[in-house]
Amino acid sequence: MTEFSPEQFEDKYANYFPELQTAYRNAFESMGERYDSELVHAIDQQVLNESEPFYDEEDGFRIELPENPYERLSGTVVGQEKFEGVLADYVATLEAELANVFDLNVGSPKV
């Protein structure tokens, strides 16, 4: 396990790329077990591919999404309300996975 440093996380892709990949993969697999795989894949490829993880010592991890995430979705038919619910769960799962990968002992996902 790599020691986590908030300062090093500012250059996360240079310092923590393998850990980021692990957290995103774990979140994807977890979501795939709970929701329609086509929707999960679409969110992963069309929304989260442009997301940005950040870390704050007081609030932990947060995921900044691109603007208008629902409008980015193509090739999958889903209502906006359902999309937003699945996306919110996905973001919470991803934040929890980031905390888990870095062993920051955060509770279960905020759903």
Q: Are 12 and 20 in contact (CB under 8 A)?
A: yes
**pLDDT tens, 10-65?**
999 999 999 999 999 999 999 999 999 999 999 999 999 999 999 998 899 999 99
User: Looking at residue 1, what is its pLDDT?
Assistant: 58
Q: Is residue 50 part of a domain?
A: yes
Q: Which domain holds residue 95?
A: 6-101
Residue that wins the pLDDT comparison between 32 and 110:
32
User: Sorting pLDDT into bands at 50, 70 and 90, what band is 74?
Assistant: confident
User: In sequence order, which residues have a C-beta less than 8 Å from that of residue 54 and are 6 or more positions away?
Assistant: 61, 62, 63, 64
H or E, element range at 53: strand 52-56
Q: Is residue 31 part of a domain?
A: yes
- Whether pLDDT at 111 is above 70: no
User: Looking at residue 77, what is its pLDDT?
Assistant: 82
Q: Is residue 1 part of a domain?
A: no
- Whether pLDDT at 80 is above 50: yes
User: Looking at residue 2, what is its pLDDT?
Assistant: 67
Q: Is residue 77 part of a domain?
A: yes
The C-alpha angle 10, 13, 17, rounded to 5 degrees, equals 125
Domain total in the chain:
1
Q: Are 75 and 83 in contact (CB under 8 A)?
A: no
